[in-house]
Amino acid sequence: MGKYNFDEIVDRHNTSSLKYDFGIERKGRDDLLPLWVADMDFALPKEILDDIKKRVDHGIFGYTDPKDDYKKALKSWYSRRHGFEIEDEWNTVTPGIVYSIALAIKAYTREGDGVIIQQPVYYPFTETIKLNNRKVVNNQLLYKDGHYEIDFDDFEEKIKKENVKLFLLCSPHNPVGRVWKKEELTRLADICLENDVYIFADEIHSDFVYKGYQHISFMTLDEKYRDKLILGTAPTKTFNIAGLQVANVIIPNEATRQLFRHENDAAGYSQGSVLGMVATASAYNKGEEWLEELKEYLAGNLDYIRNYLKRNHPEIRLIEPEGTYLIWLDFSGFTTDRRELAHLILDEAKLWLDAGIIFGEETALFERINIASPRKIIEQAMEQLSFAIKNHDRQR
Ligand SMILES: Cc1ncc(COP(=O)(O)O)c(C=O)c1O
């Protein structure tokens, strides 16, 4: 037993939780076990909660900007854990990564320009490009033998042909779980450098990699790639504080940073969330031990699912994740009809997952499952899925 108890089930109902309290609004039913949106069912450890409570007890929550304690905590985390140094002026605190991606799209591209992504990928990438009237250019990841690889030739060709000005990199990759190798990142970086393409590296999942893998931050690659680099980092996945709305966007090059900040100003955003900043500084200073234990626990959840499926449902293929707490399952061995799959998951298994179709056209027979929950919930989910498969009504 470690210091922290991740088996504890905290009832999240009636907290306006997007995951637990919006079944009726979003799915038309309230009997679903939710393992969809990427937050966790684990409470913060006491040492961080105490810092937040202390600030709450002060009672005044006026405008707040990051001071030295915040900057020090952020810098120390990335220096200790990811091997690069952040200079104070490089960082812009924003309310989120998706918001920051939207700013980057406005800052570095014009209407009609191409923005390249690698589907299947976190769906707000696609939506944000479209909603800003830019062109989605897809460099589809290659799926072979249950593993995903980058198609570099296609990446280069599309950048040249489709007037691409910005690349949205997801590293580690949601939902396929790849932790990109240095050689892969360098090849992408070279192509972008040659073609004058900005890179927004969304590294929000960087603190979650499984044993045997190492997250390589884009910031640790050769400095020649930094001029057009926007590094999206956040404590929100790592410490389960998405509702506190903090992201740290690190931009070393001054001109690139000014373009980003101009869009931030134009959007009317200035001071950030006071509790978000308190939680962030505290988590980066005191949360390391909790995170290490949590990662062990998540690896246990992954083992459980892997073994369960192998034993009971070999027709479902688990794409072995190298990072993230999001598991990507291939159901093409179960059905070739995506409506049948949706019926199985929602109506029969009563699970609320993220359907593969929202990550891209080619993955309609996949489901993404969030494993950041106490083991009992994961066991329950597997049992519901198994029961539904065994009793599946193909006729509907
Ligand atoms: C790759 C990726 N980027 C960004 C986000 C969301 O970040 P934010 O809440 O800061 O917009 C998520 C959440 O799941 C994600 O998976």
Q: Which string of DSSP letters, residue by residue, matches 90-144?
A: GEEEES-HHHHHHHHHHHH--TT-EEEE-SS--THHHHHHHHTT-EEEE-PPEEE
* CA 362 – CA 140 distance, rounded (Å): 9
**Token pair for 143:** 């799926």
pLDDT tens column, 264-299: 999 999 999 999 999 999 999 999 999 999 999 999
* CA 343 – CA 371 distance, rounded (Å): 21
Nearest atom, ligand 1, residue 246 CA = 10
378 in Cβ contact with 371 (< 8 Å): yes
Q: Quote the pLDDT of residue 394.
A: 67
Strands 142-144 and 135-138 come out as unpaired
Strands 147-149 and 142-144 come out as antiparallel
301 in Cβ contact with 371 (< 8 Å): yes
Judged by DSSP in three states, 300 sits in helix
132 in Cβ contact with 106 (< 8 Å): yes
pLDDT at 396 over 60: no
283 in Cβ contact with 248 (< 8 Å): no
By C-alpha distance, which of 210, 257, 211, 204 is closest to 230? 257
By C-alpha distance, which of 117, 16, 39, 98 is closest to 354? 39
The arithmetic mean of pLDDT across residues 360-373, rounded, is: 96
* CA 394 – CA 340 distance, rounded (Å): 7
**Token pair for 125:** 């990438």
Q: Quote the pLDDT of residue 395.
A: 56
pLDDT tens column, 32-82: 999 999 999 999 999 999 999 999 999 999 999 999 999 999 999 999 999
Residue of the CA atom closest to atom 9 of ligand 1: 96
Nearest atom, ligand 1, residue 170 CA = 1
Q: Quote the pLDDT of residue 361.
A: 86
359: pLDDT confidence band, cut at 50, 70 and 90? very high
Tell me the pLDDT of the chain averaged across its residues: 97
Strands 91-94 and 247-250 come out as antiparallel
Residue of the CA atom closest to atom 4 of ligand 1: 97
Share of the chain above pLDDT 70, in %: 99
- The per-residue b/e assignment along 283-310, b for 16 or more CB within 10 angstroms, e otherwise, is bbbbbeebbebbbebbeebbeebeebbe
Please name the residue that has the structure tokens 């504890």. Answer: 8
Residue of the CA atom closest to atom 7 of ligand 1: 97
pLDDT at 229 over 70: yes
Q: What is the dihedral of CA 14, 374, 203, 329, to 10 degrees?
A: -100
CB atoms within 10 A of CB 150: 20
By CB neighbour count within 10 A (0-12 exposed, 13-18 middle, 19+ buried), where does 205 fall?
buried
Nearest atom, ligand 1, residue 125 CA = 3
pLDDT tens column, 148-170: 999 999 999 999 999 999 999 99
Count, in order, helices (H) and strands (E) of the chain: 12, 15
Say which residues have a Cβ less than 8 Å from residue 202's Cβ, sequence separation at least 6: 97, 101, 122, 168, 169, 170, 171, 232
Rounded distance from Cα 202 to ligand 1 centre (Å): 8
| DSSP letters for 275-296 | HHHHHHHHHHHH-HHHHHHHHH
242: pLDDT confidence band, cut at 50, 70 and 90? very high
38 in Cβ contact with 249 (< 8 Å): no
Instruction: Tell me how many degrees the CA angle 91-94-100 measures, rounded to the nearest 5.
Output: 95
User: Which amino acid type is present at position 378?
Assistant: I
Site to probe by mutation for ligand 1, drawn from 122, 170, 207, 208 as the one with most ligand atoms within 8 Å of Cβ, is: 122
pLDDT tens column, 206-228: 999 999 999 999 999 999 999 99
pLDDT at 315 over 80: yes
Nearest atom, ligand 1, residue 236 CA = 10
The arithmetic mean of pLDDT across residues 17-25, rounded, is: 96
393: pLDDT confidence band, cut at 50, 70 and 90? confident
Rounded distance from Cα 263 to ligand 1 centre (Å): 20
78 in Cβ contact with 286 (< 8 Å): no
The arithmetic mean of pLDDT across residues 185-208, rounded, is: 98
pLDDT tens column, 376-387: 999 999 999 999
Which residues form the pocket of ligand 1, taking CB atoms under 6 Å from any ligand atom? 38, 96-98, 122, 170, 174, 202, 204, 234, 236, 242, 247
